[in-house]
Chain A
Amino acid sequence: MENFRNEMRKKVLMYQSISGFTGLCIIFLAVFNRSNPMNVSDFSRGVQLGIFVGIALVTLYYIGKLKNTLKNEDKLKKLYIEENDERRRLIQDKTGKTTTLIVLFSIPIAIVVAGFYSIVVLITLLVTLLFLILTTAFVKNYYNNKY
């Protein structure tokens, strides 16, 4: 249980780092947008800020949740069981695999459809598909070597 407790402490540190980084990104965006007011549209600024604020809020939620769990032995034991439950892990693996497959088959369809309307969207989707294929190959190779 002590190992798990240390693992959770590391997780809190990781979330704090992410939260700090997103905070810096928000400040950077604000400064950048103020010095270049005509550079980016209002919609893009809103999306950029929304993404960082969203990440910061999610990490802050998990920091609070984990810190609260670390104080309570029963909650920590419950979390340990939840994190290590083999059926839950199987569900997570299968969810990841199925989601990747659906996305891998959906993007080519979207590329074909986008081809009729916008070359920019087509190229963006093509790059996304390439990135997804490369990432999948990289991760598969990693686990092939690991196990």
Chain B
Amino acid sequence: MKSRIAELRKSHKFSQTDLAEAVGVTRQTITSLENEKYVASLVLAYKIAKFFNLQIEDVFDFSEVEEN
């Protein structure tokens, strides 16, 4: 699933480790999310969106889900 995690993280000048620690996952999970290798659970998506003070749909691209 496409997301704006890398873009938002870089614009806020956070490292992957900072974000990972803030949302309670490993840095590898953040890397996989940014590389679109892994789809976040609802809880993790919520935590990431909350971390950036955004709605889930502002961080994650659900257009593929809507097409299916």
Contacts and interface: CB of A to CB of B under 8 A. Distances in A.
A binds B: yes
A86 B21 contact: no
Contacts of A90: 38
A126 B30 CA distance: 44
B15 interface: no
Interface in B19-54: 20-21, 24-26, 28-29, 32, 38, 40-41, 43-44
Interface on chain A toward B: helix, strand, loop, or mixed SS?
helix
A146 interface: no
A42 interface: no
Nearest to A80: B24
A80 to B, nearest CB: 8
7 cross-chain pairs, A with B, having the tightest CB-CB distances, nearest first: A87-B29, A85-B26, A85-B25, A86-B41, A87-B38, A81-B24, A85-B29
